[in-house]
Amino acid sequence: MNDPRNVTPEDERQQQAHEDVERRSDEADWTGQAGTQRGRNFPWLGILLVLIGIALLIQAALPPNTVSAGTVLLLAIGAAMIAGWLFGGSWFAAIPGLLLLALGVARLIDELNIYTGPGITALSLAGAFVLIWAIGLARERRSRWPLVAAVILGLVGLVQVSGQLTNIPELSVVWPVVIIVVGVLLLISARRR
């Protein structure tokens, strides 16, 4: 008796293998096993719970009403996503992780009374977008959108902060002019292409 032979043409076999991989990928996303890049599973829920627990312990150690639970949650979720990127290889977790960390840091600065005026959130987000751009550049992904977002948010944050700091003269008229000039320069350079 002969062993069974596969008589499926090579193209069909490759298509079936591709469909099997996609089906398994869809199942992994649905079951929460996403982040299986390079053959590794990343324990998203476990890392998130550990970080939330640590953050809540830190919150309990601080004087009452110092840091809110919302800030703790933002920092924990952002840190979990960054861990998913660093240790699980999920690049798509880096962007929301950095943005959530930026929001958490801005709230933390406000709640700890380091700076309580407007503009810190925009500056924190601008910093996160600069990091996203730098990481993309290091990974040879030359995308300008994070840099554009960083410039816009940075300018808005600087306008807001400059009106609150006592040693800096209020530049409420200068900043809008700077923003208009930058916008016009971008329009001119886009038109030349």
Residue with tokens 């944050």: 157
* Within a domain: 27: no
Check residue 91 and give its pLDDT.
76
Number of domains in the chain: 1
* Within a domain: 34: no
* Within a domain: 10: no
* Within a domain: 95: yes
pLDDT band at 189 (very low <50, low <70, confident <90, very high): confident
Instruction: Give me the chain's average pLDDT, please.
Output: 76
Q: Which two tokens stand for residue 124?
A: 């924190």
* Within a domain: 4: no
Q: Containing domain of residue 177, as a range? A: 40-192
How far apart CA 65 and CA 4 sit, in angstroms, is 72
Check residue 102 and give its pLDDT.
94
Residues 158 and 175 sit within 8 Å (Cβ to Cβ): yes
How far apart CA 189 and CA 2 sit, in angstroms, is 71
pLDDT > 80? residue 179: no
Selected residue with higher pLDDT from 105 and 13 = 105
How far apart CA 52 and CA 43 sit, in angstroms, is 14
* Within a domain: 145: yes
* Within a domain: 116: yes
The residue type found at 191 is R
* Whole-prediction pTM: 0.62
* Within a domain: 185: yes
